[in-house]
Homo-oligomer: A and B are copies of this chain.
Amino acid sequence: MSEEIFKSRPTAALIGLGLIGGSMALAWKKHNIVQHCIGVDENPDHAKQALELNLVDEILPLEEAINKADIILLAVPVQVVAALLPIILAQVKNQIVLDVGSTKANISHIASLQENRGRFVATHPMWGTEHTGPAAATVYAFTDKAVVLCNTGSSDKDALLWTRAMYQTIGMHILEMESKAHDLHAAYVSHISHITSFALANTVLEKEREESTIFEMSSGGFESTVRLAKSNPSMWLPIFMQNRENVLDVLNEHITQLKKFKSCLEKENAEYLQELMVSANRIREII
């Protein structure tokens, strides 16, 4: 069944050749999902690098790539997905269009306004690193990770079948939910972590003047909590803006929680501080 699906979709256009687009290209080739990969990237250095790294077989302008491809993957920042999706859906006939953006409500709303909505599948593979660009791409990025498919009721059956088969073939387990639920959950399990990490980096950079000491001493927990602060602002700005209400809710709760720790320290309330940590330990049961 999967094989038949993949035989009939031999050419893919990857719009955006960064960490996610590049890793997807590698996974698709590895699993013989596509025969031919066309790359599209407005950054000529990234396009050149993607060719050199064999992520894609050729580089074409957007228009040509869309015409030539059976599958069109949007792996660009979420505000670019929002801008390109109507243009692309207006041009496709039987092709399948999917995105891999970190917010889904805004994109699903824009898709819902298009005549060709059925050709689109809204997806979010739950993987990323703080690195960017084609050189950061890795073939097993998505293996054993989750992918969220949103508003699947609005996608055509064949588009959905292909997308499900593709994600299963590259080793992902599929979750389905409405895009609004996705954005709420993403605020908790991904977006807030990035905000706290950015803020933690600024905290340390603001107050700790002895940079060599940070470097020397940071072998502890600091490196893992601050790692996400290296993430690309151009990618995260539109995510935070598109999901600002959910992110604000979670951020307010996080500040409230931090203030509880602050109050314990101020009042030397060891008992409540212990309680707060024991409560946090419950995260062991979940992840």
CA distance A230 to B265 in the complex (A): 20
Q: How far is the CB of A219 from chain B (nearest CB, A)?
A: 4
The answer on a CB contact under 8 Å between A214 and B262 is no
Can you tell how many copies of this chain the complex includes?
2
Which of A24-32, A88-96, A149-157, A277-285 is the contact stretch?
A: A277-285
CA distance A148 to B216 in the complex (A): 10
Partner of A273, one of B173, B186, B230, B240: B240
Q: How far is the CB of A21 from chain B (nearest CB, A)?
A: 17
The answer on a CB contact under 8 Å between A200 and B205 is no
The answer on a CB contact under 8 Å between A205 and B268 is no
- Look across to chain B and name the residue whose beta carbon is closest to the beta carbon of A252: B262
Q: How far is the CB of A214 from chain B (nearest CB, A)?
A: 5
By a CB distance below 8 angstroms, the chain B residues around A266 are 248
23 A-B residue pairings within 8 Å (CB atoms): A126-B217, A186-B217, A190-B221, A190-B222, A192-B204, A193-B225, A198-B261, A198-B276, A199-B276, A201-B280, A201-B282, A202-B257, A218-B287, A221-B227, A221-B231, A230-B281, A233-B277, A241-B265, A241-B273, A248-B266, A251-B262, A255-B255, A258-B258
